[in-house]
Amino acid sequence: MIYLENICKIYETPRGKVEAIKKVNFHVEKGEFVVIKGPSGSGKTTLLFSIGGILQPTSGVIRVDGNNIYSLKQNDRARFRASQIGFVFQMFYLIPYVNVLENIMLSAGLPGDGKNQERALELANNLSLTERLKHNPSELSAGECQRVALARALIHQPKLLLADEPTGNLDDKNSLEILKIIERYHHQGVTVLLVTHTNFADSLADRTLYLKNGEIHE
C-alpha cells in the first residue's frame, strides 16, 4: 500500500537548510496497522503529509497503492487523495458553524444527496454520534470532536487511513476509545499508518517504526 524510497525533505530557513527527513525507506503492506513513534520535531508529521500527497518531498519516490503520487498532476493527485486516503489530525479541523452531520459531509466535499447522507448516518451510528448530529463542534467534548473527524475521514471508504497524533488532545479514556475505533476499521480491511509520541497504540499495531532526527529505525 505504501512504498518509500530514499525520501528526503529539506526546508530552507533564514538560518540555512534543515533536513527534516533523511533518506527514509520503508513499506507498508495492504491491511497492515503500522505505528511510527518519535519525539516532537522528529519529522513524523512531515513524513505523514508527504505520504498523503500534501507535502512533496525534496527527493525520493512515494507510491501509494501502486501510484507514484508526485508524478500525478496536482488536480489528479487531489482527486486520488480525496478518494483513497482518509486523514485524521490532532486538531480535529471541524467547521465551527455547522453541525456534526454537515461536518461529516461538507468537510469531505460531499453533496448532501441521499446516498451520502445514508453513509454519514451509518458512520455516526457506528461512532456513537447519533444523538449529536444537530450539535455544533463547540457543544461537543474533545473525544466527540475526534469521532466526528474520524467519521469525516472514513466516509469515502478509503483504502488508507493516515492518523497524525489522533489522541494528542484527548485524555486516556478517550484516547483508547478512538484507537479501538481505528482498530475496528483496520480489521475491516483499511490500512492504517499512525504517527504518535505515546505508547497507546503499541498493542494494536502489527509493526512499530521509530523516527529520530529524520531517520527511520525498525
- pLDDT mean for each 10 residues of the chain (218 residues): 96 90 94 92 92 95 96 93 91 92 78 75 92 95 94 92 92 90 94 90 91 88
Per domain, the residue ranges of the chain are 2-217
In this prediction, residue 39 carries a pLDDT of 86
| CA 174 centroid distance within chain | 17
Superfamily for 2-217?
A: P-loop containing nucleotide triphosphate hydrolases (3.40.50.300)
Total residue length of the chain: 218
Helix, coil or strand: residue 61: strand
The confidence score (pLDDT) of residue 55 equals 95
For residue 43, give the nearest of 75, 20, 12, 14 by alpha carbon.
20
Q: What is the pLDDT of residue 168?
A: 87
Nearest-angstrom CA–CA distance, 114 and 141: 28
pLDDT value for 107: 60
* Other C-beta atoms lying within 10 Å of the C-beta of residue 45: 18
* Residue ranges with strand state E in the chain: 2-13, 16-28, 33-37, 59-64, 67-68, 85-89, 160-164, 191-196, 207-212, 215-217
